[in-house]
Amino acid sequence: MKKIWLFIATLASALITAAQRPGAAVDVQHYQFAIALNDTNDLIKGNAAIEILFTKDTQAISLDLISKDHTKKGMVVLQITENGKPLNFSHNNDLLIMRFPAIVKKGERKKIQIIYEGVPANGLIITNNKFGHRVFFADNWPNRARHWLPCVDHPSDKAALDFIVTAPAHYEVISNGIKIEDTSLNGRQRRTHYSETMPLSTKIMVIGVARFAIQQAGTVQDIHVSSWVYPEEKDKGFYDYALAVDILPFFIKNVGPYAFKKLANVESTTMFGGMENASAIFYSDETSITGTRKSEALLAHEIAHQWFGNMATEADWSHLWLSEGFATYMTVLYFEHKYGIDTANKMLAKNRDIVIDFSKKKLRPVVDTSVTNYMELLNANSYQKGGWVLHMLRRQLGDSLFWKSIRIYYSRYAGKNAVSNDLCKVMEEVSGADLKPFFHQWLYTAGHPKLDIRWTYSAIKKAVNITVIQQQKEPYFFPLTVQIGSELKKQLTITASETSFTLPVQSRPATIVVDPQVNLLFEGSVREIK
């Protein structure tokens, strides 16, 4: 996801999800959402068929669904049935609780049907696009699916899904998965059915309904890549979004097979610059289309998410860097592959500056369990610092072991959930190294090294003495490369708050440059002491 700092009042406070409540007893296996839309008003009518696996004995279960409030927005549940028989339920304080006639045993499966309607305050954005045309776009991240879908609104609960959308016939519909039906109803409405068999988190389940111009941009290993843009700028949009055909093979080759059966790149009217919805990526209509392909990094970032975030998914919000940090660094690696190491180093240096600037405003660890408003996690720690963690791991392990670790991590957790320690274990298995201290200091400790680096030259000894002073509270352990003059490069191992080295030289160096290859996340200065 690429972020736009637009905070909506309704997002200001976090919502507790069904999956997080103590004693949660359900694992959703499949959702089928039939959604009816109209042009007269913003009322949606929903019919949700939900297949549930019970993970413990229980007589009552709960789902997330925003209740109708004083603004008249929110959902009203009309009926819930199981095998055609009504279930008792209550729907209060954004929680839908259902009670079965008898205790359901662990391991049993049930299919319930929920009929509901309402005007969504969020989650499904019903508005006019920049050309004044009515559009409908899901915008579920982080836990806003509950505004229009009864669900377990948490990344750890993944399920296959079908969307069946009935809307006025002049709209095109895009969603996750493959289109299996597109039927005209009396010439006035259209029913469109998409099916996705890969288990997804609710954050990336979407529909997009608008007047679209559609282009088949190409095929990559039988994966159909398409562009969906507003007709008024279709030429620019088709040109810009067609870059996806070039980007997709890089991740397939280096990470693993693409998990979905299509890749649609969709112009949208939502709050984010880009949102990685599975197989149907949404991009901002305000920033993504220029006709100059300036959004290549945006496309690479969102496409990388199809592996990291969509398939290998963070088990909880505090490990968001496993999604955003990966997408950030995979974008750097794609640019390194296409444009060279100098381009990648410039991106890394810029990202390092962003991390340093953020730390001066808010000093928090990357894995931040204190956050309850998940929008606050869309910050430089999750994105740029997470990316830097991967870059430093790559430099520590070397390219071969790094990529091997990435491929194994992805294959092991594709379709599943992971936490940071899972990545650590994989990288330890592959490298044989103890990486726990590395993960602790870079992910669970706030900040980064702040270095005061001093050097002196002794003409008598023909040597340079370099002293590295760490100014932050707790010392970090890291390799530090220094370039003495134009030729000599040395890697120093920093293990204490103050470390000194004496290095032989032929003559007084004109300069000493720290981290010339952009391999360390740090801030600091270098000065000669005379």
pLDDT one-digit tens code per residue, 456-479:
999 999 999 999 999 999 999 999
Of 150, 141, 153, which is closest to residue 206 (Cα–Cα)?
Answer: 141
Q: Do 278 and 260 touch, CB atoms closer than 8 A?
A: yes
Is the pLDDT at 491 greater than 70, yes or no?
A: yes
Q: What CA–CA distances, in Å, run from 498 to 63, 453, 474, 515, 522?
A: 54, 10, 12, 18, 15
Q: Which fold has domain 450-528?
A: Immunoglobulin-like (2.60.40)
Residue 15 has what pLDDT?
A: 41
Is the pLDDT at 16 greater than 50, yes or no?
A: no
Question: For the structural domain made of 212-306, what CATH number should be given?
Answer: 3.30.2010.30
User: What CA–CA distance (Å, rounded) separates 209 from 270?
Assistant: 12
Mean pLDDT of the 74-96 span: 97
User: What are the residues whose beta carbons fall under 8 Å from the beta carbon of 288, sequence distance 6 or more?
Assistant: 240, 267, 273, 274, 295, 298
Residue 25 has what pLDDT?
A: 87
11 falls in which pLDDT band (50, 70, 90)? very low
User: What are the residues whose beta carbons fall under 8 Å from the beta carbon of 236, sequence distance 6 or more?
Assistant: 229, 289, 290, 291
Residue-range domain boundaries for the chain: 1-211, 212-306, 312-443, 450-528
The helix, strand and coil proportions of the chain, stated in percent and rounded to the nearest 5, come to: 25, 40, 35
Mean pLDDT of the 128-139 span: 98
Is the pLDDT at 12 greater than 60, yes or no?
A: no
Mean pLDDT of the 421-427 span: 98
User: What CA–CA distance (Å, rounded) separates 466 from 36?
Assistant: 70
The radius of gyration of the chain from alpha carbons, rounded to an integer in Å, stands at 26
488 falls in which pLDDT band (50, 70, 90)? confident
Residue 2 has what pLDDT?
A: 66
Q: Which pLDDT tens digit goes with each residue over 342-366?
A: 999 999 999 999 999 999 999 999 9
Is the pLDDT at 4 greater than 80, yes or no?
A: no
Mean pLDDT of the 170-182 span: 98
Of 470, 476, 434, 472, which is closest to residue 452 (Cα–Cα)?
Answer: 470
Mean pLDDT of the 246-269 span: 98
Mean pLDDT of the 232-249 span: 98
User: What is the percent of the chain with per-residue pLDDT over 90, rounded to a whole number?
Assistant: 94
Q: Which pLDDT tens digit goes with each residue over 285-317?
A: 999 999 999 999 999 999 999 999 999 999 999
Residue 6 has what pLDDT?
A: 37
Q: Which residue has the tokens 């009042």?
A: 9
Q: Which amino acid is at 157?
A: D
Residue 487 has what pLDDT?
A: 77
Q: Which of the following CATH numbers is that of domain 1-211: 2.60.40.1730, 2.60.120.10, 3.90.1300.10, 2.40.50.360?
A: 2.60.40.1730
Residue 233 has what pLDDT?
A: 98
- Please provide the average confidence, as pLDDT, over all residues in the chain: 95
Is the pLDDT at 17 greater than 70, yes or no?
A: no
Q: Which pLDDT tens digit goes with each residue over 196-221?
A: 999 999 999 999 999 999 999 999 99
User: What CA–CA distance (Å, rounded) separates 457 from 509?
Assistant: 8
User: What CA–CA distance (Å, rounded) separates 144 from 124?
Assistant: 8
Q: Do 467 and 499 touch, CB atoms closer than 8 A?
A: yes
The second-level CATH assignment, the architecture, of 312-443 is Orthogonal Bundle (1.10)
Q: Do 33 and 48 touch, CB atoms closer than 8 A?
A: yes
Residue 480 has what pLDDT?
A: 97
Residue 354 has what pLDDT?
A: 98
Is the pLDDT at 246 greater than 70, yes or no?
A: yes
Equal CATH topology for 312-443 and 450-528 = no
**Kind of pairing between the strands at 213-220 and 223-229:** antiparallel
Burial group, residue 307, by CB count within 10 angstroms (0-12, 13-18, 19+)? buried
> In the chain, how long is the greatest CA-to-CA distance?
95
User: What CA–CA distance (Å, rounded) separates 55 from 109?
Assistant: 10
Is the pLDDT at 282 greater than 80, yes or no?
A: yes
The C-alpha angle with vertex 202 and arms to 176 and 170, in degrees rounded to 5, equals 40
259 falls in which pLDDT band (50, 70, 90)? very high
User: What is the percent of the chain with per-residue pLDDT over 70, rounded to a whole number?
Assistant: 96
* 5 vs 192: which has the higher pLDDT: 192
Of 189, 167, 162, which is closest to residue 178 (Cα–Cα)?
Answer: 162
Q: Do 75 and 63 touch, CB atoms closer than 8 A?
A: no
Q: Give the SS3 label for residue 40.
A: coil
